[in-house]
Amino acid sequence: MQAIGATGALAVAGCLDGNEAGNEAETNQSADGEGLPEAKAVDVDRIARDPTDIPPPVDWNEPREHDVTVETVRQTAEIEPGVTFEYMTFEGQVPGPMIRVRRGDRVNLTFDVPEDLNMAAHNMDFHAVYGPGGGAEATTIAPGDDPARISFTADYAGVFIYHCAIPNMDQHISSGMFGSILVEPEDGLPEVDHEYYLGQHEIYTDGDVGEAGHHSFDFDAMLEESPTYVVFNGQAYGFTENGVGPMTAETGDTARVYFANGGPNLLSSLHPIGNVWSRYYRDGDLLSEPDQNIETAPVAPGTTTAGEMEFPVPGPVKIVDHALTRATRRGALGVIDVDGEPTRDVYDEDP
């Protein structure tokens, strides 16, 4: 059933009523007219990483060492209800786990591709790492190989992406293999009440948006850069239900959003509906003075950025890719639910 377009449009407009959206659903088939195979049994209830799953801020003043292990896992999961897809992941969810260190820290990485959880070789390219391929050459291993180990110093502050970088890297990133590493400056970051972690990427499949069944990866669609879905954290509209999503805040709070655009191909136009980025760290630059009161900012594929905002009034703040067909019809939408009384007289919905 092709209902996601209607659901997405309602969500962006300000409401999300599954029954109303369902009334506009219509049957659809894949381009060859034969339909898709039935949806597969899923390996995990939710492929989307909880956007509040972030390590705590740096609270140390001298360089230290961190032992980090990353395992790759192939998962069958739902892009949306009734639509399954085989994801490739770091640690079982999309995006991969955020790694958080301080500039000058040493990271000892163990990278594993277990044979029973994978069907292809993988590696890790850290945009924050000096060295061949950002570590990709040394970490390239096939399923069942002994784990690879590298050690690197986080030498420059910022927030950066990491991703799989084997020859089919575009397919692997589209299937979920990207994440972020946050290297805090020596003096740390400004304190905020909440931090959220979102990752956008395109999913190229042999089905149509909302077509029930199992979607396989479509290389032709990827070559045309024509995705079926554009999603946050691997899932279409995974964080949109009013009042029950993982991203919540109170009026008067401050929040910082770390936003990784895995791509592999499309630029994102990051916009908070009903708010602005009061302080915006372009391209993950945490050393320069942040830009102020930014409405919509381009985030190139292969980039993690960060933006902060305040919440003077209650109500949903919707995070979207302002290439709005992606938000209304392909899945690129998340909601921060803000509760409480207004802290300033800046908005009156019934004067």
Is 194 annotated as ligand-binding? no
> Which of the four pLDDT bands, split at 50, 70 and 90, describes residue 14?
low
Is 201 annotated as ligand-binding? no
Q: Rounded to an integer, what distance in angstroms lies between the CA atom of residue 45 and that of residue 84?
A: 11
Average pLDDT, the chain: 92
Per-residue pLDDT at 12 exceeds 70: no
DSSP E strands: which ranges in the chain?
Answer: 65-80, 83-90, 99-102, 106-112, 125-126, 148-153, 158-163, 178-184, 194-203, 213-215, 229-232, 248-250, 254-263, 268-273, 277-281, 291-294, 297-299, 303-310, 315-321, 333-339
Same-domain pairing of 224 and 334: yes
pLDDT at 19: 32
Same-domain pairing of 161 and 230: no
Q: Rounded to an integer, what distance in angstroms lies between the CA atom of residue 195 and that of residue 182?
A: 12
Same-domain pairing of 201 and 146: no
Per-residue pLDDT at 327 exceeds 90: yes
Same-domain pairing of 225 and 329: yes
Q: Which residue has the higher pLDDT, 2 or 348?
A: 348
Q: Rounded to an integer, what distance in angstroms lies between the CA atom of residue 236 and that of residue 7?
A: 11
> Which of the four pLDDT bands, split at 50, 70 and 90, describes residue 75?
very high
* CATH number of the domain that residue 159 is part of: 2.60.40.420
Same-domain pairing of 146 and 255: no
> pLDDT tens for residues 246-266?
999 999 999 999 999 999 999
Quick one: average pLDDT of 214-240? 96
pLDDT at 240: 82
84 within 8 A of 90, measured Cβ to Cβ: no
Helix (H) or strand (E) holding 169: helix 169-174
Choose one of 156, 184, 212: the last residue of a domain. 184
Buried b (16+ CB within 10 A) or exposed e, 27-41: eeebeeeeebeebee
Same-domain pairing of 120 and 211: no
pLDDT at 33: 56
Same-domain pairing of 204 and 326: yes
pLDDT at 245: 74
Q: Rounded to an integer, what distance in angstroms lies between the CA atom of residue 174 and that of residue 261?
A: 11
Same-domain pairing of 287 and 213: yes
Per-residue pLDDT at 24 exceeds 80: no
102 within 8 A of 58, measured Cβ to Cβ: yes
Q: Is residue 17 part of a domain?
A: no
Choose one of 161, 184, 207: the last residue of a domain. 184
Q: Give, in order, the Cα–Cα distances in Å from 254 to each of 195, 277, 278, 287, 336.
A: 9, 11, 10, 20, 12
Domain extent for 138: 65-184
Q: Is residue 351 part of a domain?
A: no
Q: Is residue 38 part of a domain?
A: no
Q: Is residue 300 part of a domain?
A: yes
| Phi, then psi, of 162 in degrees rounded to 5 | -130, 155
pLDDT at 9: 53
What residues contact residue 239 under an 8 Å CB cut-off, 6+ apart?
48, 51, 232, 233, 245, 246, 247, 333, 334, 335
Q: Which residue has the higher pLDDT, 241 or 101?
A: 101
pLDDT at 21: 36
**Helices (runs of H) and strands (runs of E) counted in the chain:** 6, 20
Is 66 annotated as ligand-binding? no
Q: Is residue 158 part of a domain?
A: yes
Q: Is residue 75 part of a domain?
A: yes
pLDDT at 35: 87
Q: Rounded to an integer, what distance in angstroms lies between the CA atom of residue 193 and that of residue 246?
A: 14
Quick one: average pLDDT of 284-288? 97
Q: Report how many domains make up the chain.
A: 2
pLDDT at 291: 98
290 within 8 A of 316, measured Cβ to Cβ: no
| Phi, then psi, of 280 in degrees rounded to 5 | -125, 125
> Which of the four pLDDT bands, split at 50, 70 and 90, describes residue 27?
very low
Same-domain pairing of 221 and 323: yes
Choose one of 131, 157, 184: the last residue of a domain. 184
Same-domain pairing of 226 and 317: yes
> pLDDT tens for residues 299-316?
999 999 999 999 999 999
Is 215 annotated as ligand-binding? no
